[in-house]
Amino acid sequence: MKIVDLRSDTVTHPTPAMWKAMALAKVGDDVYGEDPTVNRLEALAADRLGKEAGLFVASGTMGNLAALLAHCGRGDEIILGDKAHTFVYEQGGMAALGGIVPHILPNQEDGTLRLADIEGAIRGHNLHFPRTRLICLENTHNNCHGVVLTATYTAEVVALARQHGLKTHLDGARIFNAAAALETDIRELVAGIDSVTFCLSKGLCAPVGSVLCGDADFIAEARRARKILGGAMRQAGVLAAAGIVALEEMTDRLADDHACAQCLAEGLAAIPGLEVYPVHTNMVYFALKDEVPLTAPQVQERLAAHGVRVLARDAHSFRAVTHYWIDSEAIDQALEAMRAVLANV
């Protein structure tokens, strides 16, 4: 049975070109700065995002935490959304390992934070308060149905931060998906941002890794943070080689994944018992209507018996994510499975 895995774009595996590049990669000791493939990946990533320097890290979580540690000291405060991946899904690393205080604001449906809310959360010069140091955004926004933040909105947040002497960090795990959805140069989406992470291992299909980008001084400090987090790798060019292929070959095809997501959403919307939310990129969020006498975990289990994997988010809702290894045939199999599961209740 063919398995259609829609749980996440993290389930992607390397393309043939990546396997070849990994096998032939020139390597050295990256801790000494001597791995030529890692150095090339970091320079390529920085150039693509219009930043001075890059840092190859093991994961997006590590990249985000290294950035926060580089920007903030113990007892400092960052402003971020209540649905932000950095707050919800990264085990409180900012507090547990950095002593950094999160100041949480409500994310709007479009993934933004209200500018007035941000300004109101910035601490004054009062010795009773932690110092506000950083504003964090996320693009695309996972918990807001994969919605995209516009360059205009990001520029407004950057301007507000600079007005108050603050830095900005962008969790851009899927920032290339945002650029594809907006049909804009990725540099426009991160212009003025002090630091940004993006993942190689999601829609870009590399087996592991993310890159953190910023100015040279910031990256030097983040490199120290990576070391203390256990992320200083040695002959990491074997992994970086796949990341280079990801940047050179995979970023321009993400619109295909978005088109597949739209097809999946339209098919699901036609199935009685399902409510489908608007699709912005490669994420499809949908839910069971009240009349369906099954829970989302039960539907997830029955779909798996048909070779289709989706992610049950709670008792009623799901997420399905399209990626390089999902084609029209896979979408058809997923829809057929869902129809069969719901027809038998």
Q: What is the pTM of this model?
A: 0.96
Q: Is pLDDT above 80 for 345?
A: no
Q: What are phi and psi of 55, to 5 degrees?
A: -140, 120
Q: Is pLDDT above 80 for 20?
A: yes
User: Do 245 and 259 lie in a common domain?
Assistant: no
User: Do 97 and 46 lie in a common domain?
Assistant: yes
Q: What is the pLDDT of residue 215?
A: 98
Of 222, 249, 276, the residue that ends a domain is 249
Output the CA angle 337-146-214, nearest 5 degrees: 140
User: Do 167 and 264 lie in a common domain?
Assistant: no
Q: Tokens 């709670």 appear where?
A: 314
Q: Pick from 316, 268, 320, 318: which is nearest to 289 by CA? A: 316
On average, the pLDDT of the chain sits at: 97
User: Do 237 and 260 lie in a common domain?
Assistant: no
Q: What is the pLDDT of residue 125?
A: 87
User: Do 64 and 173 lie in a common domain?
Assistant: yes
Q: What is the pLDDT of residue 179?
A: 98
Q: Count Cα atoms within 13 angstroms, Cβ side, for 176.
A: 27
Domain holding 339, by residue range, is 4-9+253-343
Q: pLDDT-based confidence at 212, cuts 50/70/90? A: very high
| CATH (domain of 64) | 3.40.640.10
User: Do 28 and 174 lie in a common domain?
Assistant: yes
Of 204, 225, 249, the residue that ends a domain is 249
Q: What are phi and psi of 20, to 5 degrees?
A: -65, -45
Q: Is pLDDT above 90 for 297?
A: yes
| CATH (domain of 305) | 3.90.1150.10
Model pLDDT for residues 124-183, shown as the tens digit of each residue: 889 999 999 999 999 999 999 999 999 999 999 999 999 999 999 999 999 999 999 999
Question: How many percent of the chain have pLDDT more than 90?
Answer: 98
User: Do 61 and 74 lie in a common domain?
Assistant: yes
Tokens standing for residue 318: 């799901």
Please compute the mean of the pLDDT values over residues 79-102 and round it to a whole number: 97
Q: What is the pLDDT of residue 36?
A: 98
User: Do 47 and 113 lie in a common domain?
Assistant: yes
Q: What is the pLDDT of residue 124?
A: 87
Question: How many percent of the chain have pLDDT more than 70?
Answer: 100
Q: Is pLDDT above 90 for 324?
A: yes
User: Do 282 and 180 lie in a common domain?
Assistant: no
Of 230, 249, 268, the residue that ends a domain is 249
User: Do 217 and 154 lie in a common domain?
Assistant: yes
Number of domains in the chain: 2
User: Do 168 and 227 lie in a common domain?
Assistant: yes
Q: Is pLDDT above 80 for 28?
A: yes
Pairing of strands 132-138, 53-57: unpaired
127 CB-near residues (< 8 Å, 6+ apart): none
Tell me the three-class secondary structure of the chain, residue by residue.
Answer: CCCEECCCHHHCCCCHHHHHHHHHCCCCCHHHCCCHHHHHHHHHHHHHHCCCEEEEECCHHHHHHHHHHHHCCCCCEEEEECCCHHHHCCCCHHHHCCCCEEEEECCCCCCCCCHHHHHHHCCCCCCCCCCEEEEEEECCEHHHCCECCCHHHHHHHHHHHHHCCCEEEEECCCHHHHHHHHCCCHHHHHCCCCEEEEECCCCCCCCCCEEEEECHHHHHHHHHHHHHCCCCCCCCHHHHHHHHHHHHHHHHHHHHHHHHHHHHHHHHHCCCCEEECCCCCCEEEEEECCCCCCCHHHHHHHHHHCCEECEECCCCEEEEECCCCCCHHHHHHHHHHHHHHHHCC
User: Do 211 and 259 lie in a common domain?
Assistant: no
- The C-alpha atoms of residue 5 and residue 7 are separated, in whole angstroms, by 6
